[in-house]
Amino acid sequence: QVPLVESGGGLVQAGDSLRLACATSGRTLSFYDMAWFRQAPGKEREFVSAIRWRSQNTYYADSVKGRFTISRDNGKNTLYLQMNGLKPEDTVVYYCAARRDRPYTAVDNSGTYDNWGQGTQVTISS
């Protein structure tokens, strides 16, 4: 298991930017596929973005393409989500997720991840 802790959430105005971070508790993220999901109260958890370990390919939900960028810093064992052009619809709790690399398994299914952070709240005002 890889303990994960998210940070970087907050309250900003529409059009502003935030950078979320997901850090391990003194453990490496090497050989793990990493992803960001988000979930609003009463709604299903939805895929936001992912980055594979082996290929380093990135993936984005249609709703965030062109606005969000996922990246990882192996030296700091940290996953990032740069969020630009934020909209009120982005107001939700964001979760970091990790799984041992599975290059032949889709990255957008929350059920394939077995390591989760506690979430960080993002609130966008208009």
**Strand-pair partners of 94:** 38, 120
The pLDDT of residue 25 is: 77
Q: What is the pLDDT along the chain (126 residues), one digit of tens a residue?
A: 788 999 999 999 999 999 999 998 777 889 999 999 999 999 999 999 999 999 999 999 999 999 999 999 988 899 999 999 999 999 999 999 999 999 999 999 999 999 999 999 999 999
Nearest to 5 by CA among 96, 81, 94: 96
Contact 89, 44 (CB under 8 A): no
Phi, psi of 76 (to 5 degrees): -100, 0
Give 80's Cβ-side CA count (13 Å radius).
12
